[in-house]
Amino acid sequence: MQFSVLMSIYKKENPDWFRECIQSIAAQTVRPDEIVLVEDGKLPDQLEAVVGEFLKVCPQLRVIRFEENRGLGKALSDGLKECKYPLVARMDTDDIAFPDRFEKQLAAFKRDPALTLCGGQVLEFSGTTENVLRRKMVPVEHEDILRYAATRNPFNHPSVMFKKDAVLAAGGYLHMPGFEDYYLWARMLAAGAKSCNLPDFILYFRAGEDVYKRRGGWDYMKASVRARWAIHKTGISGLGSFLYAAAGQMVVSLMPNNARGNFYEKVLRR
């Protein structure tokens, strides 16, 4: 089965982490037929040099460049349209894939031709993959995913592989800062998309204090409540689930950063 990998990169990303990411794709037991990399705004010379380095040795890599940063949702939306193949695997440019990630996901699609979305479990790490901080677990079976989606994102976004046509039919990635993926999954699930998450760990997700900082403050709180209302309106959750999730989001967003970090580590992770 032919498939694309879709990634977006912008100026603040780490060149060494990006190099490790691409190397993990090159080391896959089943390699992608193409890698579509969206440059969301002009990159600094050091980061652009790494892109150029891989363009010389990786014929599968295609770069789509935009002069201005427009945000993840718009970058992925444009990048998805450029993907040539029916299956698309998402990946962030600072994460590291397990060597058999794509092999396992392709096997899931072969087993079930009706499958539309397939994610997996991830290990959050800092520095090197030997320094695993915690596990980020999501439900495996479709019915469990539907129940979970009423209040929380049921997929680890950079671990997901999906059918391109189904994503486009649901409207694709839309601008919803911090919730671009959750909003997309909600629309797809509400439209009847069949889903699963592999029980296996398939990705190392780079984490740190900045992850929690981005999820705090008044602006993030207001944006998150708006996003959760939009997700509720897709029909995947009742009003009670929306109120429960929105209230929890408000409390967590206004916590001090250290307290918010502890909450994510002790309550939302394992």
pLDDT of 183:
97
pLDDT of 210:
60
| One domain, residues 229 and 201 | no
Nearest-angstrom CA–CA distance, 254 and 39: 32
pLDDT of 220:
82
| One domain, residues 184 and 168 | yes
| One domain, residues 255 and 239 | yes
pLDDT of 199:
98
Nearest-angstrom CA–CA distance, 62 and 242: 40
DSSP assignment of 187-221 equals HHHHTT-EEEEEEEEEEEEE--HHHHHTT-SHHHH
pLDDT, greater one: 109 or 255: 109
**Is the whole model's pTM more than 0.85, yes or no?**
yes
| One domain, residues 36 and 148 | yes
Question: Of 207, 227, 250, at which residue does a domain stop?
Answer: 207
Helix (H) / strand (E) element for 179: namely: none
Nearest-angstrom CA–CA distance, 40 and 133: 29
Task: Give residue 255's pLDDT band: very low, low, confident or very high (50, 70, 90).
Answer: confident
pLDDT tens for each residue of 237-252: 999 998 998 898 888 7
pLDDT tens for each residue of 67-110: 999 999 999 999 999 999 999 999 999 999 999 999 999 999 99
Nearest-angstrom CA–CA distance, 237 and 235: 6
pLDDT of 222:
87
Nearest-angstrom CA–CA distance, 245 and 127: 32
- For residue 180, give both structure tokens: 């671009």
β-bridge mates for residue 115, sequence order: 194
| One domain, residues 124 and 227 | no
pLDDT of 95:
96
| One domain, residues 213 and 203 | no
First-to-last CA distance in the chain?
34
| One domain, residues 23 and 51 | yes
The values of phi and psi at residue 119, to 5°, are -110, -160
17 pLDDT above the threshold of 80: yes
| One domain, residues 203 and 261 | no
pLDDT of 69:
95
261 pLDDT above the threshold of 90: no
pLDDT tens for each residue of 157-201: 999 999 999 999 999 999 998 899 999 999 999 999 999 999 999
| One domain, residues 191 and 121 | yes
Helix (H) / strand (E) element for 15: namely: helix 15-26
Instruction: List Cβ<8 Å contacts ≥24 apart for 207-210.
Output: 207/124, 207/125, 207/126, 207/133, 207/134, 208/126, 209/257, 209/261
35 pLDDT above the threshold of 70: yes
Question: Of 207, 222, 254, at which residue does a domain stop?
Answer: 207
Extended beta strands in the chain, E state? 3-9, 34-40, 61-66, 87-90, 96-97, 115-126, 128-136, 161-163, 194-206
Q: Which domain holds residue 162?
A: 3-207
Share of the chain above pLDDT 90, in %: 82
Question: Of 207, 227, 244, at which residue does a domain stop?
Answer: 207
Number of structural domains the chain divides into:
2
Q: Give me the CATH number covering residue 52.
A: 3.90.550.10
Mean pLDDT of 42-50: 97
CA angle, 67 then 69 then 75, to 5°:
100
| One domain, residues 36 and 128 | yes
| One domain, residues 154 and 34 | yes
Mean pLDDT for the chain overall: 92
| One domain, residues 265 and 148 | no
